Structure 1
Amino acid sequence: MRPAVHLAVPVDDLETARHFYGEVLGLEQGRSGDHWIDWNLSGHQLVTHVIQHAHEEVGSSEVDGHHVPIPHFGLLLSPDHFHDLSDRLRSTGTEFLIDPYLRFPDRPGAQWTMFFRDPSGNALEFKAFLDESQVFAR
């Protein structure tokens, strides 16, 4: 088994989370219970757990002239998958915290990035590197 991340995130409403993560983001649903759902996040296990008053933002950090919400989580995608997802998010009326754009163009680590929140207020970032070998480039 290859190493994979397990991430648990709080949500306010399980059915709203089921729609957002399953229909809007297109993640495959795994096991579930009365208060949680497992999701396949490209081979990583994302678990949404119902907790009242789930969202708590700590703050933000400035990156490339944008205020990046802390905490956040997301996924590295291929450029084609990134643009397909950003189009799908736009078509569903998702409000972006940071609209999809090319960060650090003509520099090491050039990447497409976008930030938005799930219905419970969790910040998500999805990005795509122009050159995958540049993920950790300085």
Structure 2
Amino acid sequence: MNSITPFHLAFPVHDLGEARRFYGEILGCPEGRSSDHWIDYDLFGHQIVAHLNPGVSRADAHTNPVDGHDVPVPHFGVVLSMADFHALADRVRNAGIRFVIEPTIRFKGQPGEQATMFFYDPSGNALEFKAFADMGQLFAR
């Protein structure tokens, strides 16, 4: 496969106003269609949909160990260019959002070496953003 096919992901949020601030203002995702119960966003060329679920919480959070870090499960995100990764990390940091895993290099010197960061949205959805100096390492073993 030589081209990237956009994905679609729907996820719960407890407050659409907070979702608008977080995904629209902080992450910089353009808003698409919306209703009183959901909002479409363009997350770096991929469609994500925040669906209102006032009872959502991260009470059942789970982690798995990966390269010395406790990675939140489940999580979602995208692979960015290195420049977009650093710009997003700065926006998140400047907004005062706490990183679960600070921007770091994972698998240093190994196949699949990557920059990665994790943080939660206001509804407790875990997000991971990563970047590769060499995109050819995306699926390296």
The Cα shift of 1:42 comes to 2.0
Which of 98, 121, 130 lines up with 1:118 in the alignment? 121
Report the 3-state secondary structure (helix = DSSP H, G, I; strand = E; otherwise coil) of the residue aligned with 1:125. strand
> Which of 66, 70, 74 is the matching residue for 2:73?
70
Normalised to the residue count of structure 2, the TM-score between the two structures is 0.93
Structure 1 Cα separation of the partners of residues 57 and 114 of structure 2 = 28
Number of residues of Structure 1 aligned to a counterpart in Structure 2:
137
Q: Which amino acid aligns with 2:9?
A: L
Which aligned runs of 4 or more in structure 1 are off by greater than 3 angstroms?
A: none
AA aligned to 1:64 is D
How big is the shift at 1:107?
1.1
Q: Percent identity?
A: 56
In the superposition, the TM-score normalised over structure 1's length comes to 0.95
Unmatched 5+ stretches in structure 2: none
Match of 1:31 among 20, 30, 33: 33
- 1:97-116 alignment, distance < 5 Å: 97-116=100-119
Structure 1: distance between partners of 2:36 and 2:54: 14
Please give the per-residue CA displacement for 1:22-45, whole angstroms capped at 9, x wherever unaligned: 000000100000010000112211
1:5 aligns with 2:44: no
What is the distance in 1 between the residues matched to 2:72 and 2:19?
Answer: 20
